Amino acid sequence: MRTANSSVKMETIMTQIFRKPLIIACALLFAGALAAGCSNSKEDKKLRGQVIGGVTGAAVGSLFGSGSGQVVAVGAGAVLGTIVGGKVAED
């Protein structure tokens, strides 16, 4: 028989399982919407690549570590994603 306490634990587990994929999906959706609104000049393409790369890098970084380590991973992912996204968009 389920108790109220076990129901709360199950809800907490489900929240933890689905939180990160939901964050990543929202970040990618935001980046895609932002990219769709940009013009096609060379500078805009680079900026678009940097934004998409930074958002994606931060989302991927959020999958690693916990506590302050996760904060560092998000920051590092955002910085690396911004650099790589800008370089890819230049080509």
Instruction: Give the tens place of pLDDT for each residue, 32-66.
Output: 666 666 566 777 788 888 888 888 888 888 888 78
Tokens of 27: 């970040």
In terms of pLDDT, which residue wins out, 85 or 65? 85
Task: For residue 60, give its domain range.
Answer: 4-90
Residue 4 has pLDDT above 70, yes or no: no
In terms of pLDDT, which residue wins out, 57 or 8? 57
Q: Which residues contact 12 (CB under 8 A, 6 or more apart)?
A: none
Residue 14 pLDDT class (50, 70, 90 cuts):
low
| Number of domains observed in the structure of the chain | 1
Q: What is the model's pTM?
A: 0.59
Q: Taking the CB of residue 35, how many other CB atoms lie within 10 A of it?
A: 17
